[in-house]
Amino acid sequence: MNCPICEAHKNESEIVFQNQNWILRKADQNLDGYLYMEHKGHVDSWFDLSLSAFENYGRALHKATEILKTFQPEKMYIVAIAERVPHLHVHLIPRYENQEKGLDHIAKATGPGFPKPM
C-alpha cells in the first residue's frame, strides 16, 4: 500500500501528540498552528471506528485546541473530507485576524496554501 499519510507517520519529528488511535501532525501549509489529526491505522471511513476510537478522537481534539490556543487564532475550522487521500484524517485550520473567512479560507489552506514569506 502506498499511503502518504501512513508514510508521514514514520517522520516522528512532525508528530506533536498521539494517543491510542490518533496522531496530531504539523501541516506544511505555511499557516502557524495548522494541524492534521489522523487515525493511526489505515482506516478510510468514520463508519469503521470503534467507540474507543471516537472517545480518543475527542481527547486528541481537546489536545489540538490546547495547542492551537497558544497561537491565538480568532477561529479554528475542522474539515474532514478524505476523498483525495483515502486515510481518515481531519484538517484543523486556524484563522487569524484580517484573514478571509469561511470556505475561502479553507480552500486556500487546504489547496495551494499560503504564500511563503520572502
CA atoms within 13 A on the CB side of 48: 9
Report the topology of domain 4-110.
Answer: HIT family, subunit A (3.30.428)
pLDDT by residue, tens only, the chain of 118 residues: 689 999 999 999 999 999 999 999 999 888 999 999 999 999 999 999 999 999 999 999 999 999 999 999 999 999 997 778 889 999 999 999 999 999 999 998 888 767 665 3
- Residue of 33, 43, 29, 117 whose CA lies nearest to 80: 43
Strand blocks (E) in 1-118:
15-18, 22-26, 35-39, 75-79, 89-95
C-alpha cell at 61: 481534539
C-alpha cell at 29: 501549509
Q: What is the pLDDT of residue 118?
A: 39
46-61 in b/e form (b: 16+ CB < 10 A) is eeebeeebeebbeebb
The angle formed by the CA atoms of residues 72, 21 and 46, to the nearest 5 degrees, is 90
